[in-house]
Amino acid sequence: QGYVLPAQSLTVIKIAEQGARGEQLVGVEMRAQSGAFIAGRAQHYLGTGRLGFSMKLGSPATYSDWWVATGDYAGKPAEQIDVFNPGDSDATVSVLFSGSAEVKAAPLSLVVPAHRVIGISMSNVAGLPEGRFVVSLSVLEGGGIVVEHAVTRQLADNAATSVDLGFPAVMASTRWRTGLAAEAGTERAFALLNITGVDATASIASIGPAGRIPIAGLGSISLPA
């Protein structure tokens, strides 16, 4: 719509002022006519079952294959995966559930219309366990999509909503690093997902002034296909 972004500047665009009021799902696509920019989203949730504040980067591109490592129903979250198709043609998307032998959910087939967003509520999917599972989404027909994961968890008398981007296939790597270490004694601090069709082995180590130090019990982690 012809927004001018001055060099080295920050511009805030309020979605409600663009006419989006009352919609449950809104997709936004931004294109640079010249130059380059970074786009993120800040959102304050105050109702409709969600509460809290989230800030995240957008997706710089669309992709045909996405993964979401999710599922922890011990906290009874309201959990949803949103699929945005910014393309000019409809996309047929295959949705598979896996991660363990406890996952009994049947595959889904979705048609995401062009320039539309489709939400998948995990509470409506039969056969999901009360524990970790994996959702993979692949485009069978059409162009690339963008996948987001929204979760609202009850915390005592309060609630907290988080929204994260899914993981596209281009992010799969044999080596990962994080600048923030988990505190000693933290359980379930990392989620490791093997997206390949062959068994794998992973190791986790800490890196500090003394260099790389293996962590007891995490030197050889089996990751089935």
Specify the pLDDT at position 86: 95
Above 60 in pLDDT, residue 74?
Answer: no
Average predicted confidence (pLDDT) for the chain: 88
Average pLDDT of the segment spanning 78-92 = 94
141-189 tens-digit pLDDT: 999 999 999 988 877 778 888 889 999 989 999 999 888 777 777 777 8
Average pLDDT of the segment spanning 99-108 = 90
26-55 tens-digit pLDDT: 889 999 999 999 999 998 888 777 888 889
Specify the pLDDT at position 7: 92
**CB-based contacts of 80, cutoff 8 Å, min separation 6:** 119, 120, 121, 122, 149, 150, 151
111-140 tens-digit pLDDT: 999 999 999 998 889 998 887 889 999 999
Above 70 in pLDDT, residue 75?
Answer: no
Unique residue bearing structure tokens 């982690």: 221
Closest by Cα among 166, 173, 164 to 62:
166
Q: Which of the four pLDDT bands, split at 50, 70 and 90, describes residue 72?
A: low
Specify the pLDDT at position 159: 81
In DSSP terms, 127 is beta-bridged to none
